[in-house]
Structure 1
Amino acid sequence: MPAEETTKTIKAYCLRLLARREYSRKELLNKCSLKGFQKSDVLPVLDELTDKGWQDDARYAESYARQRIQKGYGPIAVQYELSQNGVQIDTIQPLLHSVADSWLDVLEQVYHKKYTHDRRLSRQEWAKRSRFLMQRGFPADMVSALFTHLAIRFPKF
Structure 2
Amino acid sequence: MRIQVKTVTIKGNKLFLENDKIIYLTKEMIAKFDLNGKTCLDDETFYSLIYFRIKLSAYNMLAKRDYFKKELKNKLIEKIGFADIVEDVVEDFEEKGYLDDYEKAKSYASQHSNYGAKKLSFIFCQMGVDREIISEILEDDKDNQIEKIKQLWYKLGNKEKQKKIESILRKGFLYGDIKKAISSIEEEEEE
Same fold (TM over 0.5): yes
Check the 8 A contact 2:119/2:173 in 1, yes or no.
yes
Matched residues in 2 for 1:16 and 1:108: separation? 41
Matched residues in 2 for 1:50 and 1:88: separation? 14
User: Partner of 1:10 in structure 2?
Assistant: 54
Query: Which of 57, 72, 83 is 1:39 aligned to?
Result: 83
In structure 2, stretches of 5+ residues that fail to align are: 1-14, 16-45
Alignment TM-score, normalising by the size of structure 1: 0.83
Bigger Rg, which one: 2
Check the 8 A contact 2:77/2:83 in 1, yes or no.
yes
Check the 8 A contact 1:22/1:63 in 2, yes or no.
no
Alignment TM-score, normalising by the size of structure 2: 0.69
Query: Which of 162, 166, 183 is 1:131 aligned to?
Result: 166
Whose strand proportion is higher, 1 or 2? 2
User: Partner of 1:78 in structure 2?
Assistant: 120
C-alpha deviations, 1:45-102, integer Å up to 9, x for none? 0110011111111111111111111xx1111111110111000111111112324761
User: Partner of 2:93 in structure 1?
Assistant: 49
Structure 2 residue 184 is matched with structure 1 residue 142: no
State the secondary structure of the residue aligned to 2:98.
coil
Q: Number of aligned pairs?
A: 143
Check the 8 A contact 1:10/1:37 in 2, yes or no.
no
C-alpha deviations, 1:79-134, integer Å up to 9, x for none? 11011100011111111232476111111112212224xxxx9xxx2221111110
What amino acid is the match of 2:62? L
What amino acid is the match of 2:176? D
What amino acid is the match of 2:51? T
In structure 1, stretches of 5+ residues that fail to align are: 153-157
CA root-mean-square deviation: 1.8
Give, in angstroms, the shift of residue 13 of structure 1: 1.2
Higher mean Cα deviation, 76-85 or 32-41? Answer: 32-41
**Identity between Structure 1 and Structure 2 (%):** 26
Ranked by relative contact order (alpha carbons within 8 Å, sequence separation 6 or more), the top structure is 1
User: Partner of 1:155 in structure 2?
Assistant: none
